[in-house]
């Protein structure tokens, strides 16, 4: 890494036919209080006005670079190409229909530095097509345990180049859940920090990638991702096992084919009892005594 990349944040923006919202997304990067960034736009063979809009911004700001794929690569490969072109000390990616709050990049860089973290993620508002907040993506207090069975990282995150060089690329076989797979790999090896404040707006609409795919397919991929990564977590605690099997059970329960036997039901019922006796009840009692003091 070159010396002039010290403190540089590389933001990859993979895009396909994003003309509707991409100006807002790019402007949210330009309006950051943290100025030392590069925006790498990876156009995945768009057929609308995406190339013209991207080139317009690239011509106006030398920090913005535009690249067009020769063939449609899909998201994981597009991300991998973008990061292979990056020069930053810190890395992240965003989407054409999502928005950073102005202080987002500055807060994440500051948190990585002050907390000596390798990966940081923040709370996100979920907005609709009218920019109305309809939901919030926020991590629980025990996020380091809960990640085993729950993808709450959201779309506002940042990691160091060390993470990228160690973990490697996004798995192209994990399309639709490539992010969760990556987070699980990071959590198992690096120091992670969370920012509870809202720093990002994630737009949910009919054209969003995950809203257009069958839920069963995503659930099956999530199940595979969990089993592929669980070996990286040695000696799971009771709480981690509870989160893992709760999530696996939920993924199976939500399948459209209800005739398929949920093989996680018995394991979860046993863990439920142990979790209640050895963790949940003692912690509730402790919280009651704490309030009385």
pLDDT digits 0-9 by tens, 25-65: 999 999 999 999 999 999 999 999 999 999 999 999 999 99
* 15, β-bridge pairs: 43
Per-residue pLDDT tens listing for the chain (293 residues):
444 589 999 999 999 999 999 999 999 999 999 999 999 999 999 999 999 999 999 999 999 999 999 999 999 999 999 999 999 999 999 999 999 999 999 999 999 999 999 999 999 999 998 889 999 999 999 999 999 989 999 999 999 999 999 999 999 999 999 999 999 999 999 999 999 999 999 998 665 555 555 678 888 899 999 999 999 998 899 889 999 999 999 888 766 555 567 889 898 989 988 878 877 655 554 443 444 44
CATH for 3-209, options being 3.90.550.10, 2.60.40.10, 1.10.30.50, 3.40.50.1950: 3.90.550.10
Q: How many CA atoms lie within 13 A of 266 on its CB side?
A: 2
Q: What is the DSSP letter of 235?
A: S
Distance CA 55, CA 65 (A): 8
Angle at 50 between CA 174 and CA 168, to 5 degrees: 30
Distance CA 88, CA 282 (A): 46
pTM attached to this predicted model: 0.89
What one-character-per-residue DSSP string does 114-169 give? HTT-SEEEEEEEEE-TTS-EEEEE---TTHHHHTTT----TT-EEEEHHHHHHH-S
Torsion-angle region of 96 (φ positive above 0: left; ψ -120 to 50: alpha; else: beta) = alpha
H or E segment at 201?
Answer: strand 192-203
Residue 180's nearest CA partner among 193, 171, 192 is: 171
The per-residue pLDDT for range 131-154, each reduced to its tens digit, is: 899 999 999 999 999 999 899 999
Distance CA 151, CA 186 (A): 13
Domain limits, the chain: 3-209, 217-292
Distance CA 263, CA 227 (A): 14
Residue 9's nearest CA partner among 100, 75, 77 is: 100
* 99, β-bridge pairs: 201
Distance CA 269, CA 136 (A): 30
């Amino acid at each position: 890494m070159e010396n002039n990349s010290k403190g540089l944040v590389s933001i990859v923006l993979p895009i396909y036919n994003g003309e509707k919202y991409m100006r807002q997304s790019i402007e949210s990067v330009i309006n950051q209080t943290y100025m030392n960034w590069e925006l790498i736009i990876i156009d995945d063979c768009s057929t609308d006005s995406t190339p013209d809009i991207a080139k317009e911004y690239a011509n106006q700001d030398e920090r913005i670079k535009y690249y067009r794929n020769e063939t449609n690569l899909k998201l994981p490969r597009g991300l991998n190409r973008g990061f292979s072109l990056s020069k930053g000390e810190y890395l992240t990616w965003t989407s054409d229909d999502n928005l950073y709050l102005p202080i987002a990049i500055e807060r994440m860089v500051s948190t990585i530095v002050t907390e000596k973290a390798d990966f940081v993620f923040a709370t996100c508002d979920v907005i609709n097509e009218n920019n109305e907040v309809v939901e919030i993506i926020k991590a629980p207090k025990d996020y380091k345990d809960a990640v085993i069975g729950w993808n709450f990282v959201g779309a506002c995150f940042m990691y160091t180049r060390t993470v990228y060089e160690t973990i490697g690329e996004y798995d192209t076989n994990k399309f639709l859940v490539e992010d969760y797979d990556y987070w699980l790999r990071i959590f198992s090896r690096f120091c992670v920090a969370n920012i509870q404040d809202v720093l990002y707006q994630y737009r949910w609409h009919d054209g969003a990638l995950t809203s257009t795919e069958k839920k069963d397919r995503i659930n099956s991929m999530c199940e595979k991702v969990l089993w592929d990564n669980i070996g990286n977590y040695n000696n799971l605690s009771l709480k981690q096992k509870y989160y893992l099997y709760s999530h696996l059970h939920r993924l199976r329960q939500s399948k459209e084919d209800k005739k398929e036997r949920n093989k996680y039901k018995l394991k979860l019922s046993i863990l439920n009892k142990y979790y209640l006796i050895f963790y949940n009840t003692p912690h509730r009692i402790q919280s009651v005594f704490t309030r009385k003091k």
